[in-house]
Structure 1
Amino acid sequence: MEKIDSTVIKAKDKSAVIKAKRKKWTKEDTELTILGLPTFIWFIAFSYLPMFGLVIAFKNYKISPGRGFIYSLLKSDWAGFKNFKFFLESNSFTMLLRNTVGYNIVFIILGIVIPVSLAIMISMIHSRKASKTYQTMLFFPHFMSWVVVSYFVYAFLSPDKGLLNQIMVFFGKEPIQWYMEAKYWPYILVFMNLWKTVGYSMVVYLASITGIDSTYYEAAMIDGATKWQQVKYITLPCLKPIIVMMFILSVGRIFYSDFGLFYQITQRVPSSLYNVASTFDTYIYNALRSGVTIGRTAAASLFQSVTCCIAILSANWVIKKIDEDSAII
Structure 2
Amino acid sequence: MPAPLTLERQTQSEPPAERKKKDTFLREIMKNRYLYLLTLPGILFLIVFNYLPMAGLYMAFVDYNPMAGLYGLKSEFVGLMNFKFFFTSNDWITVTINTIYLNILFIITGLAVQMFMAIGLNEIGSKTVKKIAQSFMFLPNFISWTVISIFSIALFSTDAGVINHVLGLFGMEPVNYYQDASWWPFILVMLRLWKGVGFGTVIYLATISGLDQEMYEAARIDGANRFQSITRITLPMLKTTTLMLFILSIGGIFYGDFGMIYALVGDNPVLRPTTDVIDTYVYRALRMNNDIGMSSAVGLFQAVVGFILVLSANGITRKLSKDSALF
TM-score (norm. length: structure 1) = 0.86
Relative to structure 2, which stretch is displaced further, 35-44 or 122-131?
35-44
Per-residue CA deviations over 1:122-148 (Å, capped at 9, x if unaligned) read 211112222222222222111110011
Amino acid at match of 2:64: Y
Aligned to 1:8: none
Aligned to 2:206: 207
2:303 to 281, 302, 305: 305
Q: Percent identity?
A: 42
Amino acid at match of 1:273: L
Q: How far is the alpha carbon of 1:30 from its aligned partner? A: 7.2
Cα gap change, 1:162 to 1:83, in 2 (>3 Å): same
Matching of residues 3-18 of structure 1 within 5 Å: none
2:89 alignment partner, SS class: coil
Q: How far is the alpha carbon of 1:296 from its aligned partner? A: 0.7
Matching of residues 51-130 of structure 1 within 5 Å: 51-64=54-67, 69-70=70-71, 73-130=72-129
Cα gap change, 1:116 to 1:18, in 2 (>3 Å): same
Question: Using the alignment, how far apart are the partners of 1:130 and 1:45 within structure 2?
Answer: 40
Q: How far is the alpha carbon of 1:248 from its aligned partner? A: 0.5
Cα gap change, 1:309 to 1:214, in 2 (>3 Å): same
Relative to structure 2, which stretch is displaced further, 78-87 or 34-43?
34-43
Aligned to 2:293: 295
Aligned to 1:326: 324
8 A Cα contact 1:97 1:280, kept in partner:
yes
8 A Cα contact 1:97 1:279, kept in partner:
yes
Matching of residues 146-295 of structure 1 within 5 Å: 146-266=145-265, 268-295=266-293
8 A Cα contact 1:59 1:78, kept in partner:
yes
What count of residue pairs does the alignment treat as equivalent?
309
Question: Using the alignment, how far apart are the partners of 1:226 and 1:29 within structure 2?
Answer: 45
1:215 alignment partner, SS class: helix
Aligned to 2:6: none
Q: How far is the alpha carbon of 1:184 from its aligned partner? A: 1.2
Task: List gaps (5 residues or longer) in structure 1.
Answer: 1-15
1:290 alignment partner, SS class: helix
Relative to structure 2, which stretch is displaced further, 124-133 or 292-301?
124-133
8 A Cα contact 1:58 1:81, kept in partner:
yes
TM-align CA RMSD: 2.5
Q: How far is the alpha carbon of 1:22 from its aligned partner? A: 4.3
Aligned to 1:5: none
Relative to structure 2, which stretch is displaced further, 166-175 or 182-191?
166-175
Question: Using the alignment, how far apart are the partners of 1:81 and 1:117 within structure 2?
Answer: 46
Cα gap change, 1:168 to 1:139, in 2 (>3 Å): same
Cα gap change, 1:314 to 1:174, in 2 (>3 Å): same
Per-residue CA deviations over 1:273-308 (Å, capped at 9, x if unaligned) read 011110011111111211241101111111111111
Question: Using the alignment, how far apart are the partners of 2:151 and 2:42 within structure 1?
Answer: 38
Cα gap change, 1:141 to 1:59, in 2 (>3 Å): same
Q: How far is the alpha carbon of 1:185 from its aligned partner? A: 1.1
Q: How far is the alpha carbon of 1:41 from its aligned partner? A: 6.3
Question: Using the alignment, how far apart are the partners of 1:25 and 1:231 within structure 2?
Answer: 42
Question: Using the alignment, how far apart are the partners of 1:82 and 1:231 within structure 2?
Answer: 55
Amino acid at match of 1:109: I
Question: Using the alignment, how far apart are the partners of 2:110 and 2:21 within structure 1?
Answer: 44
Question: Using the alignment, how far apart are the partners of 1:30 and 1:188 within structure 2?
Answer: 47
Amino acid at match of 2:90: N
8 A Cα contact 1:56 1:298, kept in partner:
yes
Amino acid at match of 2:216: Y
Q: How far is the alpha carbon of 1:47 from its aligned partner? A: 3.6
